[in-house]
Structure 1
Amino acid sequence: MTDIQGIIVLICIAAVILNLPFGYLRRFTKRFSLAWFACIHIPIVFIAVIRISTHTPWAFAPLFLAMGILGQMIGYRINFRRREQQEER
């Protein structure tokens, strides 16, 4: 694996992990509110800073965005499943 491939994999992992708590918190916010908007867009800034500081080409930005969306979806589902388990009790 070349250096750029390793960096891309690490940024993808960081995008997923960084978006997990924001996806979890987004579940508690009203849709299209300021908090909802912040939960979606704050992690993008951090991933952009990482991408720029590592000099990763713009061609990989859609991949990082997709990984961020995946992290948001997983974080949202974590809370959803936890609520389902509490309702069963």
Structure 2
Amino acid sequence: MALKILLISVICLLVNIPMGRMRERCKKFSLAWFVWVHASIPLIVALRIGLHLHWIAIPINIASAVLGQLLGGLPEKQNRRAASPAA
């Protein structure tokens, strides 16, 4: 059970890194932004159902997905800060 949770958590993290990068390029709260934030959910749900995971794994999966989004968006955010003129 723990190995299944770890496997899905790693997949959530890795899948959400490129999605976080794309999300960071979109205007906040736009349709594209919402698509990139939620695009991995069907995959995560399918994996959870396919591996017969208990509902207690959901918060762990969500945390992994959020971490992937944040890690993916970090380079874009840093590039934007570096490109903006100093005040």
TM bucket, shorter chain: 0.7 to 0.9
Q: State how many pairs are aligned.
A: 85
CA distance in 2, matches of 1:82, 1:10: 31
> How far did residue 78 of structure 1 move?
2.2
Letter in 2 for 1:72: Q
Offset from partner CA, 1:14-34 (integer Å, 9 cap, x none): 000000001000111111111
Q: Match for residue 52 of structure 2? A: 55
Structure 1 residue runs of 4 or more that deviate by more than 6 Å after TM superposition: none
1:19 correspondence with 2:38: no
Offset from partner CA, 1:13-72 (integer Å, 9 cap, x none): 000000000100011111111100000111111111111110000111011001100000
Kept in 1: contact 2:25–2:76 (CA 8 A): no
Letter in 2 for 1:32: F
CA RMSD of aligned residues (A): 1.6
Q: 1:44 aligns with which of 41, 48, 66?
A: 41
1:6 correspondence with 2:14: no
The TM-score with structure 1 as length reference comes to 0.86
CA distance in 2, matches of 1:41, 1:75: 14
Instruction: Give structure 1 stretches of 5+ with no counterpart.
Output: none
Letter in 1 for 2:5: I
CA distance in 2, matches of 1:17, 1:34: 23
The TM-score with structure 2 as length reference comes to 0.87
Instruction: Give structure 2 stretches of 5+ with no counterpart.
Output: none
